[in-house]
């Protein structure tokens, strides 16, 4: 099952790469730099998915105290932090030639950065508690607070300032993006979602083995 | 014993122990005074620059003293082995949480009032003209701060590296409260009516509700030790 998922992920990522570099046309204004979008946008969406999974798993843990839910929360948080990191790094690489700066305190950059430190804190809290059961409980509480904080962070930072180009897909009205770009983006999104699922299943299994060994 | 009465007992216990020991309050007031020196050193004599930075500095003062004060919220329970007492207390544990939040809220409000007075004296800020609006903003911001701070203080009380972990967890979560409070304070200090910052106040209100609700629902799991 996990192996099939792994191969599917590899296939999806390969297809995504071929499409992003071979099929998608060169963007007129930004040039080849624009192709970073096929990495940048899927990673941030998958990061949000990961943190939503952390929320659900945390609630499930507190309700049922199942260790599987706790392992899912931890695995998903780790993957989420990884994808948030990829988002920030790829955004910086895109921002330098496009905006002329690696980093700016724009609304969406700031809110993703806050997300990043929030969930780094989550992983830090886990690492600091030896007792597994207590680590699971505290992390679950933090996972819930952090996830519910995301919309608050989003709105506050958005009202604070914005410079980022407005979203191209998730907005009312028909998409302005040419269909080719959209298809390539969606294939990459699917590939990244598979990659996330594969990471999480692998990590959760690893955690289970770890617990079995130390139990 | 009713829910409200149990919350009140926790609050009363904290107030009495604080009144007798004056451990936290004295240190916090002194700390607030020192912060004022730091702000002055950092910004120098430029009145204009100071004035522009005042709302941010004011909340920086609240946050820093709050971090120090809130971090100690459950130390008495931990050090004097009263944690079991809290766990064994009958009934819904969220009453304990609300009592603790109320105690922390009072403590922070006292410190904040003092900081505000210090600011008016040393930085020549005129707050008297729009005191009511300012109090509303400070109250809305501080409730959220105390709500999530109390929850995290209980979580980090028994954890290694508590002093570092508490602010590291709390600050990112509090960003919306900070931004909203600073923006609203800025407007209030410029003499604008509260209506112009309605959406910031709504955001602060929403944050307060979210944090308090999560705290009430999850405190039981935190208290288990």
Per-residue pLDDT tens digits for A21-68: 888 888 777 888 888 889 999 999 999 999 999 999 999 999 999 999
CB contact under 8 A, A152 and B221: no
* B204 pLDDT higher than 70: yes
Residues 6+ apart with CB under 8 A from B117: none
* B14 pLDDT higher than 50: yes
B108-144 per-position pLDDT tens digit: 999 999 999 988 888 877 777 788 889 999 999 999 9
CB contact under 8 A, A144 and B155: no
C-alpha to C-alpha distance for A41 and A87, rounded to whole angstroms: 7
* B148 pLDDT higher than 90: yes
User: pLDDT class for B46, splitting at 50, 70, 90?
Assistant: confident
Domain count, chain A: 1
Contacts of B176 in chain A (CB under 8 A): 149, 152-153, 155-157
User: pLDDT class for A191, splitting at 50, 70, 90?
Assistant: very high
User: pLDDT class for A104, splitting at 50, 70, 90?
Assistant: confident
> What's the mean pLDDT in B191-204?
86
A107: contact with B, CB 8 A cutoff? no
SS3 content of chain B, % helix, strand, coil (to 5): 85, 0, 15
| pLDDT computed for residue A14 by the predictor | 92
| pLDDT computed for residue A164 by the predictor | 53
> What's the mean pLDDT in A158-163?
70
Q: Is A173 among the domain residues?
A: no
Contacts of B224 in chain A (CB under 8 A): 134, 137
Query: How far is B25 from chain A, CA to nearest CA, in Å?
Result: 28
Query: How far is B186 from chain A, CA to nearest CA, in Å?
Result: 13
- Which pTM value belongs to this model? 0.90
Which domain covers residue A28, as residue numbers? 2-167+179-214
B152-172 per-position pLDDT tens digit: 999 998 888 888 899 999 999
User: pLDDT class for B177, splitting at 50, 70, 90?
Assistant: very high
Least confident of A77-86, B16-25, B131-140: B16-25
Q: CB-CB: which of B207, B218, B224 is closest to A144?
A: B218
C-alpha to C-alpha distance for B106 and A179, rounded to whole angstroms: 58
Percent of chain A with pLDDT strictly greater than 90: 61
CB contact under 8 A, B214 and A138: no
| pLDDT computed for residue A176 by the predictor | 66
| pLDDT computed for residue B225 by the predictor | 61
Q: CB-CB: which of B172, B203, B224 is closest to A118?
A: B172
Q: CB-CB: which of B172, B179, B221 is closest to A62?
A: B221
| pLDDT computed for residue A174 by the predictor | 52
At B126, give phi and psi (nearest 5°). Answer: -100, 105
CB contact under 8 A, A141 and B151: yes
| pLDDT computed for residue A163 by the predictor | 47
Percent of chain B with pLDDT strictly greater than 70: 100
Q: CB-CB: which of B155, B172, B175 is closest to A141?
A: B155
Say which residue, B123 or A75, is predicted with more confidence: A75
CB contact under 8 A, A62 and B165: no
* A78 pLDDT higher than 80: yes
Query: How far is B159 from chain A, CA to nearest CA, in Å?
Result: 6
- Mean pLDDT rounded to a whole number for chain A: 88
CB contact under 8 A, A155 and B159: no
User: pLDDT class for A156, splitting at 50, 70, 90?
Assistant: confident
| pLDDT computed for residue A71 by the predictor | 96
* B26 pLDDT higher than 80: yes
Nearest Cα residue in chain A from B168: A121
| pLDDT computed for residue A48 by the predictor | 95
CB contact under 8 A, B203 and A155: yes
Contacts of B172 in chain A (CB under 8 A): 114, 117-118, 121
| pLDDT computed for residue B17 by the predictor | 87
Q: CB-CB: which of B199, B200, B222 is closest to A138?
A: B222
Number of inter-chain CB pairs under 8 A, A vs B: 83
Burial B28-58 (b: 16+ CB within 10 A, else e): bbebbeebbeebeeebeeeeeebeebbbbbb
Is B145 in contact with B60 (CB distance < 8 Å)?
A: no
Percent of chain B with pLDDT strictly greater than 90: 45
* B1 pLDDT higher than 80: no
C-alpha to C-alpha distance for A65 and A63, rounded to whole angstroms: 6
- Mean pLDDT rounded to a whole number for chain B: 89
Q: What is the DSSP letter of B91?
A: S
One-character DSSP codes across chain A = -HHHHHHHHHHHHHHHHHIIIIISPPBTTTBGGGGGHHHHHHHHHHHHHHHHHHHHHHHHHHHH--HHHHHHHHHHHHHHHHHHHHHHHHHHHHHHHHHSSS----HHHHHHHHHHHHHHHHHHHHHH---HHHHHHHHHHHHHHHHHHHHHHHHHHHHH---SPPPSSSSSSS--S-HHHHHHHHHHHHHHHHHHHHHHHHHHHHHHHHHHHH-
* A1 pLDDT higher than 80: no
| pLDDT computed for residue B84 by the predictor | 85
Over the Cα atoms of chain A, what is R_g? 19
Q: Cβ-count burial of A174 within 10 angstroms (0-12 exposed, 13-18 middle, 19+ buried)? A: exposed
- To test the contact with chain A by mutation, choose from B176, B177, B178 the residue with the greatest count of A C-beta atoms within 10 A, namely B176
Q: Is A172 among the domain residues?
A: no
* A111 pLDDT higher than 50: yes
- To test the contact with chain B by mutation, choose from A152, A154, A162 the residue with the greatest count of B C-beta atoms within 10 A, namely A152
């Amino acid at each position: 099952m996990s192996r099939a998922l792994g191969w599917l992920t590899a296939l999806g990522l390969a297809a995504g790469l071929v499409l992003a570099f071979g099929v998608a046309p060169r963007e007129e204004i930004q040039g080849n730099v624009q192709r970073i979008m096929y990495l940048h946008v899927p990673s941030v969406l998958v990061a949000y998915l990961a943190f939503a999974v952390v929320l659900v798993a945390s609630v499930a843990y507190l309700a049922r105290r199942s260790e599987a839910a706790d392992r899912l929360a931890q695995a998903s948080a780790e993957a989420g932090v990884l994808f948030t990191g990829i988002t920030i790094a790829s955004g910086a690489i895109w921002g330098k030639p496009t905006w002329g700066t690696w980093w700016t305190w724009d609304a969406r950059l700031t809110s993703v950065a806050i997300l990043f430190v929030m969930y780094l804190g989550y992983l830090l809290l886990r690492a600091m508690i030896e007792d597994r059961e207590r680590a699971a409980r505290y992390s679950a509480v933090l996972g819930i607070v952090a996830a519910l904080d995301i919309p608050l962070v989003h709105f506050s930072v958005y009202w604070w300032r914005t410079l980022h180009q407005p979203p191209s897909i998730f907005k009312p009205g028909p998409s302005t993006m040419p269909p080719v770009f959209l298809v390539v983006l969606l294939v990459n999104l699917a590939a990244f979602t598979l990659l996330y699922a594969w990471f999480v299943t692998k990590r959760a299994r690893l955690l289970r083995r770890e617990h079995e060994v130390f139990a | 014993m009713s829910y409200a009465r149990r919350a009140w007992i926790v609050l009363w216990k904290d107030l009495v122990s604080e009144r007798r020991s004056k451990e936290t309050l004295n240190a916090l007031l002194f700390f607030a005074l020192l912060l004022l020196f730091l702000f002055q050193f950092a910004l120098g004599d430029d009145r204009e620059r100071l004035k522009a930075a005042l709302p941010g500095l004011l909340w920086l003062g609240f946050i820093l003293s709050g971090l120090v004060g809130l971090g100690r919220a459950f130390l008495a329970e931990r050090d004097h082995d009263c944690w079991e007492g809290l766990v064994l207390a009958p009934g819904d544990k969220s009453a304990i949480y609300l009592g603790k939040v109320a105690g922390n809220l009072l403590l922070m409000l006292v410190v904040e009032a003092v900081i505000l007075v210090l600011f008016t004296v040393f930085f020549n800020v005129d707050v008297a003209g729009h005191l009511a609006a300012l109090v509303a903003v400070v109250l809305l911001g501080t409730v959220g701060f105390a709500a999530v701070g109390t929850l995290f203080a209980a979580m980090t009380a028994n954890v290694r590296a508590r002093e570092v972990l508490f602010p590291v967890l709390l600050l990112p979560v509090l960003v919306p409260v900070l931004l909203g409070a600073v923006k609203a304070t800025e407007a209030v200090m410029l003499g604008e009516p509260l209506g112009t910052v309605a959406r910031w106040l709504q955001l602060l209100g929403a944050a307060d509700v979210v944090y308090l609700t999560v705290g009430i629902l999850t405190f039981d799991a935190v208290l288990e030790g």
